[in-house]
Every structure is written in structure tokens, then in C-alpha cells.
């Protein structure tokens, strides 16, 4: 799913700042299965068996959605299915991707329909996990993302999994995951996304100074722009605010707003609140 709609609202959705009571999680764009492009994945095998009489119909798929809209690498994973099943699964995945931001519950229904037909394919389980994550169903998202990883998904799922651990009330586990060999291999935006989640886990535990240290190591570059930079600056500002360092928080909300060309955070609103 090529979707990046982190709207910055402070509910239990994984989208906002790192302080306790606010969720700050990884981007969904690079991680969800029904996208039109993305990193290559391992392709697990699945028997070519299917019985339509035992498979739920699932939600109706809009007529304009076609299987060929799914990215080639994910369509490749579906070659272990018979043609009719592969087509239905692909169309459900495309529908899930298109609905993810505007109607995550509907996206989840489509992803589940795909899983009912092809539960042994990593990309499908990943799609269910992403949609459940968007719905705030942390337990289901965690189970599905773990399953996708076991099946050989090559997507960078660690930050999502860690954020789900936060969501089910285990911030300590999120911090532990950040110390794993897999975490040490992350670079660039993927590493920054995990930093945001770990800082949020520290804040969940009331450890705001530690959260600030996580976010500032390596040192933040205020000249950065883009969605990850905006979210990183926003989390830093929100953590400063939790420490009653309001003037500094305002400056970093300003930096977040400047970096946020796509409007994925509510930094402008926070600036108004603090000014």
C-alpha cells in the first residue's frame, strides 16, 4: 500500500508524538502488502489447492479494481495459487491498499478476505497486519506481522512490530526489540522510524529524558525535510513538551512544520497552541 497518511491526531492510532498517551509509529507506505511498488520479498510456496465452497466471499470488490494494479513482486508470490484465486486475492489486496487511509476497517475486511484464500503467503499476512495496525487492533496486527516475518517477508517490519508491542501494553518489549541484531542493521528512514517508536516506549514508561536521548542520537539535523524528518522533529518537540521545556518544544514544532511539506502531522496546530 503506497499510503502515507499519518494525520498527527492524538488517539491510540500510531501516528502522533512520542510522549505518553500519544502514539507515534512507523510509516505504512513501505510496509504494507497491497502496494504498487516496493522492496522485493521472499516468495514462500503454497499448495495449489482451493475450495470456493469453504472460502468466505468477503466484501464486494469495486469493478474498476484489477489484479494487474498489484505490484509485480507481490503478484509473483501469488503464482502458487490457481488463476482464479490469485486474481481474487490480488484484487482484494488492491482494494485494501486503496481504502487504507480513508476507511481502514473496510481495508481490513478486504485483507482478511485475501487471507481466507491464501493464508500462507507473507505479503497477504503483512497486508492484514498493516490494516489491523491502521485500525488500532494492536494484537491482531502483531500476530499477522510476526507471521509475515516468519514466512519470509523482506519488508522492514521491526518498527511496526515494536509499536504494536507498545499498543498491547508492553513498552519494555519494544525497547528490547530495538536492541536486537535486526535493529542494528536498519539504516536511514527505517532506523529513524524505530527511534521514534522506542522514544515513545520510553515516554510510555515516564522516561522522557531517555526518550529525548533516543531521538537525538544521532544528533538531529534541522535542515532535513520530508515525512520521516517531520515525524522525528515532531516526536522530539512533543517529548520536550512533556518535560515542560515549552520554548524548545515550540522551536522543534516549527522545524517539524517546515519539514512537513505533505501535512502528515498537526505541527501547525501545536504551534498555535504554544504561541
Please give the DSSP secondary-structure letter assigned to residue 126.
H
pLDDT the model gives residue 116 = 97
pLDDT in tens, 4-38: 333 332 222 333 233 333 444 554 443 333 332 22
pLDDT at 41 over 50: no
Q: Is residue 73 part of a domain?
A: yes
Q: Is residue 120 part of a domain?
A: yes
Mean of per-residue pLDDT scores for the chain? 85
Residue 157 contacts residue 149 (beta carbons within 8 Å) = yes
Residues 6 or more apart whose CB falls under 8 angstroms from that of 223 comprise none
User: Cα separation of 18 and 3, whole Å?
Assistant: 21
Q: Please measure the distance between the N-terminal and C-terminal CA atoms of the chain and give it in whole angstroms.
A: 37
**Residue range of the domain that includes 118:** 58-153
Task: For 246, list phi and psi in degrees, rounded to 5.
Answer: -65, -40
Task: Specify the residue for cell string 502514539.
Answer: 23
Quote the pTM value. 0.80
Average pLDDT for 219-242: 97
Q: Is residue 91 part of a domain?
A: yes
What is the CATH number for 125? 1.25.40.10
Packing angle, helices 158-167 and 138-150, rounded to 10 = 150
pLDDT at 215 over 90: yes
Q: Is residue 97 part of a domain?
A: yes
Task: Specify the residue for cell string 499498543.
Answer: 167
Q: Is residue 194 part of a domain?
A: no
Q: Is residue 256 part of a domain?
A: no
pLDDT the model gives residue 56 = 59
pLDDT the model gives residue 77 = 95
pLDDT at 171 over 90: yes
Q: Is residue 48 part of a domain?
A: no
Average pLDDT for 82-106: 97
pLDDT the model gives residue 18 = 39
Number of domains in the chain: 1
Q: Is residue 228 part of a domain?
A: no
pLDDT at 195 over 80: yes
Confidence tier at 78 by pLDDT (50, 70, 90):
very high
Q: Which residues does residue 24 pair with via DSSP β-bridges, in sequence order?
A: 15
Amino acid at each position: 500500500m503506497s499510503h502515507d497518511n499519518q494525520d498527527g491526531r492524538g488517539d491510540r492510532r500510531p501516528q502522533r508524538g512520542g510522549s505518553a498517551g500519544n502514539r507515534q509509529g512507523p510509516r505504512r507506505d513501505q510496509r504494507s502488502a497491497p502496494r504498487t511498488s516496493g522492496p522485493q520479498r521472499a516468495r514462500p510456496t503454497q499448495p495449489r489447492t482451493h475450495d470456493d465452497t469453504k472460502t468466505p466471499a468477503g466484501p464486494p470488490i469495486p469493478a474498476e479494481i484489477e489484479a494487474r494494479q498489484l505490484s509485480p513482486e507481490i503478484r509473483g508470490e501469488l503464482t502458487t495459487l490457481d488463476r482464479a484465486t490469485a486474481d481474487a486475492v490480488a484484487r482484494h489486496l488492491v482494494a485494501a491498499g486503496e481504502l487504507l487511509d480513508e476507511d481502514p476497517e473496510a481495508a481490513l475486511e478486504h485483507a482478511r478476505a485475501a487471507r481466507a484464500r491464501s493464508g500462507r503467503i507473507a505479503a497477504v499476512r503483512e497486508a492484514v497486519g498493516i490494516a489491523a495496525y491502521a485500525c488500532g487492533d494492536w494484537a491482531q496486527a502483531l500476530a499477522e506481522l510476526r507471521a509475515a516475518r516468519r514466512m519470509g517477508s523482506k519488508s522492514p517490519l521491526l518498527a511496526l512490530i515494536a509499536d504494536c508491542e507498545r499498543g498491547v501494553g508492553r513498552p519494555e518489549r519494544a525497547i528490547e526489540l530495538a536492541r536486537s541484531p535486526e535493529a542494528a542493521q536498519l539504516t536511514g528512514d527505517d532506523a529513524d522510524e524505530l527511534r521514534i517508536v522506542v522514544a515513545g516506549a520510553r515516554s510510555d514508561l515516564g522516561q522522557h529524558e531517555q526518550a529525548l536521548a533516543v531521538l537525538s542520537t544521532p544528533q538531529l539535523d534541522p535542515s532535513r525535510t520530508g515525512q520521516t524528518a517531520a515525524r522525528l522533529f515532531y516526536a522530539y518537540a512533543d517529548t520536550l513538551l512533556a518535560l515542560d521545556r515549552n520554548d524548545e518544544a515550540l522551536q522543534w514544532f516549527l522545524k517539524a512544520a517546515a519539514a512537513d511539506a505533505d501535512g502528515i502531522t498537526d505541527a501547525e496546530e501545536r504551534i498555535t497552541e504554544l504561541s
